[in-house]
Structure 1
């Protein structure tokens, strides 16, 4: 009976703190304006605040890049110790390279991938901003079409984020790679359904999003199908279910306090006793709890200073990990692969680039200890870790320390921070100063940043010739991003006269330096401009060179060329061979494509069992279309249960 009473108390106090950040961006300066995101944001704010009685709901309308970053940073403070932390974003979204998602600020001007860093926030930043809460929810109504955009990604809409950890749910307004409807009734179909279903009593949040999916699919006649990733393992509700206990509850609080104390009285951390005092500040065990807290806080402080048993070995590990960042300042996929290899060789600091947001423990303490001793690489990595955690103010403290010691990557990060007003006041002149300091030490990313500032007249007078000089300076040192940018200028006739021959010259330079994207662009050029015959053969030659880079998505792309018969004779058997190669490298897209071949009997005998097996492999890697196939094509029910 005591257990039942305890459950009643928890239900009553279940959500003592529920916070939300609601963002609606519609008045874009360089993108097509949207009709409904402000209406959608206001609808969600009213629903959360007035009807669901959230404690704090912050509404942000038409946020530029600086406002967006500040709101996210501030929200992370609110999310600490919250029972529920929820973020809703309505507006334009963009899938960048490496399947990263970007949510665009209203002042975003996206012409190249690098522009995303100063015009949009990532979905990871929104996720990190909810850290510290028991249940975390991020809702992205941000897959709306961008017909006037100066930059197009290979895929419309947003990709699916790999969710790690419990009690995190990410909801998307539509399927991966698809476009969500803005709506013509004052609100988008997704926001309308969300607000309606949120009000349902006795409906868990997980079940609620299933209802939202069904409602949107019905209203849009199957054109838009919302999805979600992650899981809330505990039953979490917006409106608490009714709990009926048939008995006198006069002694409920006292019995509940005893149950609580019995559950923590043998713990050896201060947090458990602080939690007791938070709920029972004048409880019968409060004096004992205070003594326990003093004891364990003292013990923690005595061991706070990191112990570096072998300081030279630790420094070597840290510098090796830092070098991963220096060699891969932009390409996250290469950085991740390098980190995996380095981690397998026994370097624990490589974990930073695999799971930076959760990097902690003794290795973190070692970084702090050495950074305090003016070890530049340690301070730089601490800056990177805190940026990943979504706390730029803390990150800037460490980047400043590293930069003052002479670390060029940290200087470059300070330039980017001052340009965006991220963790520091926005100051274009200071941004230029830090970028130039970094460039003078040989940082090619900083060189291209200086060039971009001259192009956009940020902190300096606009000068296209000076811009090209800085880009060429970076390219001469071997920066393939700069080479590709110059090639793109010639391809589009921007800044310079359109010239396919010069475009190819710069793409060739990047390809010779091993840039896979350059190889693909050269192949695309020959495939589109060559008609039939020799030029298509050239296109395939370049595609095969890209394959040699070992990138699984390039290998999958070759399979699709044979599947479609683009530049080659259509051959499903050859397509299968390429798809299998990519699948062996963990390409979810290739696994899905193999499922298609089996389901429809293309080049092989129809086999629905094999099709389901391959769809399930892709689904387990969060491939949205594969999940849809499993649940909608003869294998009904929860896809996880179907793919055991």
Structure 2
């Protein structure tokens, strides 16, 4: 049997951790009202931003508020927010102002934009892609909320795209012409919320705030309200307020873990990681019924939610393994890789059913085909060890670890770094291993943090030096690059992980 380096096993737990409260939830809230270009000023956007900022602060977010920012300031703050978000469980951006689609791409407009052509928009605005990149490295959940006009507010010179027909109304919109943004396609674990469905306009509101901001601020403060249901309730409130003219819409996907934006007690408190098996038990019966209805309508996240809720043996009132497996089967058959992975773990371990490792491997591979990180990492570990009748195949294991690491799977980044450190990845060296170790630490893996802190000798002196250099590159470390993980390096690792002091 071929030897291979020590690999951090992905511990096969049925329940994933949920986000915790405090500064691990970051928000950037932006309000643009005093546009310098004639005819573009908006009434309520700054009021909306302040309302949302206050609501988020009230439930434990660390909030950065920007008001009427020019392009340079907006870009600088996005860069700062992106770095802070790397150690946040949840990163959220809220933007109220003018938004525009140009040639299939969505842009958010700062107050100093002077626009006369599509090229001007691209040069003087910030794209939705940039917003998404700014939250991309948050550890668990990424949300971008646009209370923008989603139109071409600059007139006919910008070659507006085909526009959706709007109902007649006397209420002002955040636009000077009808129109709409393109529907985004964010990555897994990222949610984009539009104040109005793509191709429609968002009303500015007749009072001090827009209908969308009013509903969002109200719902986000409700303790014990699971986030997917929160956005659905916001939609219902806005539809009612606008006489069915404006329908908010979400794009992308949330993780299959429960998350309560206001926590379970109204103060932002989330369920601790060690209590993760109780996470779905926190969902009240009334919300469980809503998940059932959504699952019946084909919502795969609701199927996964019910599957996890009913497979928790600590919640005997709900415990129903066969019904749980049935929901996961439905979601897996609909092509949902997270459901495939959950079902594979159940079959691998025989949780509430008989073990079936052959089908478990089949499901792991199907989930891996969709680049689902947990499945990729598990398969890498199985091939590295030769588990479940698979041949011990280190090159195949390395391939799986690399794919998982490149979708920022935390343990896989460590595993791949270990393979590089052992000289088993052609063309990769200590600097590459250090880059993956650094990213795993920033991504919030407690096990990686503990291993790098407590057992640095697992890695070569060259890899340790390269990691010190990486920590110094981001101003976490100012000591000698010598491979000695003394107190200075230990403090730098803590800072990179997100522990101050």
Structure 1 length-normalised TM: 0.39
Q: Which has the larger radius of gyration?
A: 1
